[in-house]
């Protein structure tokens, strides 16, 4: 099958980019002819994948405008008829399937502040998203909560929307043995005598870091530690002694396995792929009910809390105890890569 994937960038920078890499590997493993379309491509990363890359050069534009120019170009010029299946992870309206990891008007409602600059960009994002939902034949929602948001904000035909949860890259995320776990704990100076939580994030405010830091300012440093991985910490923040920012980490599977829990107290989280990655690595999770992946969790997988108020977090964290997660979470929920690729290919068959 000849497949096209469209996204703003091909890199390791965030959740949707991680999802793109999983799709690329999944289609290649299935023997498909794959074409990746983007305006930013990490060439070193791309060399590891046997597919065709189509880069739109927009270096002459300010960074924020490149995305909009890219969307406009593809809405005008991309031909879905050139492929057996075309999917986009960004707000284009030219493809067969729109993969939706969040609805922009809903994300705006969760913000604590707004200004003229954000309002201007929100208006542009909303126009592209409106066009996408009006023109794309099929919509993939990454959770039931996203499906509900789509239907709340747009006059979409319900039959055109299907919930297909994003997969975990089981080649990257799996359990490590006890020796490797001890090695990683030593590397990152994780004290096994403390209850250590990991907060993986590239957009801290939306994911509840402010509330989490307020909680750790109260929790006993001799018993509790928080490790923050991904984006930089807030410039004005002076974290407690039991909070550490360690920046970007490439081998997240080992880090997941080295901590006691992964915590994601988001205000708004359409899915939260880190939840599945953590569980596949053998580590339970603490998430708010606002995290889409909470739809899949059972009591054995971790804890779903009603909100991310500091006191709620304090009470929850004080009650945590290390636990072992059973294997097979991804397989039992259809979240293995091969299962996901097969679900996406069903769209091509339905159109054929």
CB proximity list for 84: less than 8 A, separation 6 or greater? 1, 2, 3, 348, 352
Q: What is the DSSP letter of 325?
A: P
Strands 97-100 and 85-88: parallel
Written as six digits, the tokens of 29 are: 């493993």
Tokens representing residue 323 in the block: 């636990």
Which are the contacts of 172, defined by CB distance < 8 A and separation ≥ 6? 252, 253
Q: What is the pLDDT of residues 96-121, one digit of tens each?
A: 999 999 899 988 887 767 777 788 89
Tokens (6 digits) for 23: 């799709």
Question: Do the Cβ atoms of 85 and 347 come closer than 8 Å?
Answer: yes
Residue 246's alpha-carbon distances to 186, 202, 249, in angstroms, are 14, 12, 8
What are the residue ranges in the chain where pLDDT is below 70?
112, 203, 231-239, 352
- What are residue 76's phi and psi, to 5 degrees? -85, -40
Beta pairing partners, 281: none
Q: What is the pLDDT of residue 157?
A: 80
Give the torsion through C-alpha atoms of 43, 47, 49, 54, to 10 deg. Answer: 40
Tens-digit pLDDT profile for residues 196-249:
999 998 767 788 999 999 999 999 999 999 999 986 666 555 667 899 998 888
pLDDT at position 237, please? 58
All domains in the chain, ordered by first residue: 2-167+336-351 (3.40.50.2000), 178-332 (3.40.50.2000)
Long-range pairs, 179-188, Cβ under 8 A, ≥24: 180/254, 180/257, 181/254, 181/257, 181/258, 184/254, 184/255, 184/257, 184/258, 185/258, 188/227, 188/246, 188/255, 188/258
């Amino acid at each position: 099958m000849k497949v096209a994937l469209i996204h703003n960038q091909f890199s390791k920078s965030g959740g949707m980019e991680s999802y793109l890499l999983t799709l690329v590997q999944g289609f290649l493993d299935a023997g498909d002819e794959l074409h990746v379309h983007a305006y930013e491509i990490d060439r070193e990363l791309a060399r590891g994948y046997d597919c065709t890359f189509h880069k739109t050069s927009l270096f002459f534009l300010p960074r924020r405008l490149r995305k909009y120019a890219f969307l406009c170009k593809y809405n005008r010029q991309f031909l879905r008829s050139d492929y057996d299946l075309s999917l986009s992870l960004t707000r284009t309206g030219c493809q067969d399937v729109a993969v939706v990891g969040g609805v922009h008007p809903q994300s705006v409602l969760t913000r604590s502040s707004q200004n003229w600059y954000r309002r201007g960009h929100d208006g542009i994002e909303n126009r592209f998203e409106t066009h996408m939902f009006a023109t794309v034949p099929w919509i993939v929602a990454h959770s039931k909560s996203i499906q509900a948001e789509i239907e709340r904000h747009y006059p979409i035909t319900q039959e055109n929307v299907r919930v297909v949860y994003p997969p975990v890259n089981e080649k990257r995320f799996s359990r490590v043995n006890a020796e490797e776990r001890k090695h990683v704990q030593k590397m990152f100076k994780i004290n096994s005598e403390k209850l250590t939580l990991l907060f993986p994030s590239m957009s801290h405010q939306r994911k509840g870091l402010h509330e989490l830091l307020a909680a750790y300012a109260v929790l006993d440093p001799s018993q509790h530690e928080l490790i923050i991985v991904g984006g930089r910490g807030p410039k004005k923040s002076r974290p407690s002694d039991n909070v550490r920012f360690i920046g970007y980490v490439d081998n997240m599977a080992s880090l997941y396995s080295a901590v006691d829990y992964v915590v994601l107290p988001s205000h708004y989280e359409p899915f939260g792929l880190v939840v599945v990655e953590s569980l596949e690595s053998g580590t339970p999770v603490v998430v708010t009910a606002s995290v889409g992946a909470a739809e899949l969790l059972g009591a054995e997988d971790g804890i779903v809390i009603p909100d991310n108020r500091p006191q709620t977090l304090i009470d929850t964290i004080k009650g945590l105890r290390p636990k072992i997660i059973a294997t097979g979470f991804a397989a039992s929920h259809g979240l293995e890569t091969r299962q996901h690729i097969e679900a996406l290919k069903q769209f091509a068959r339905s159109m054929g």
